[in-house]
Amino acid sequence: MSETSRRYYPVSWEQLHRDAKALAWRLAESGPFKGIVAITRGGLVPAHIIARELDIRVIDTICISSYDEETQGDASVLKSVGGDGTGWLIIDDLVDTGKTGRIVREMLPKAHFATVYAKPAGRPVVDTFVTEVSQDTWILFPWDTEPQYAKPIAKARAGETVVP
Query: Which residues are designated catalytic?
Result: 92-93, 96
138 annotated binding-site participant: yes
Q: Where are the alpha helices (DSSP H) in 5-126?
A: 13-27, 44-54, 99-107
94 is in an annotated binding site: yes
- 110 annotated as a binding-site residue: no
- Residue 143, annotated as binding a ligand: no
103 is an annotated ligand-binding site residue: no
What are the E-state strand segments in 42-136? 59-68, 71-79, 88-95, 112-118, 128-132
- Known binding residue 139? Answer is yes
Q: Is 41 annotated as a binding residue?
A: yes
Q: Is 36 annotated as a binding residue?
A: no
Residue 88 labelled as part of a binding site: no
Judge whether 60 and 43 are in contact, CB under 8 Å: no
Contact (CB, 8 A) for 17 and 49 = yes
Question: Is 16 marked as a binding-site residue?
Answer: no
Q: Is 103 helix (H, G, I), strand (E, B) or coil?
A: helix
Phi, psi angles (nearest 5°) of residue 118: -140, 140
Q: What residue spans of the chain are helical by DSSP H? A: 13-27, 44-54, 99-107, 153-157
Number of neighbouring beta carbons within 10 Å of residue 31: 14
Residue numbering of the annotated binding site for Mg(2+): 93
Residue numbering of the annotated binding site: 41-42, 92-100, 138-139
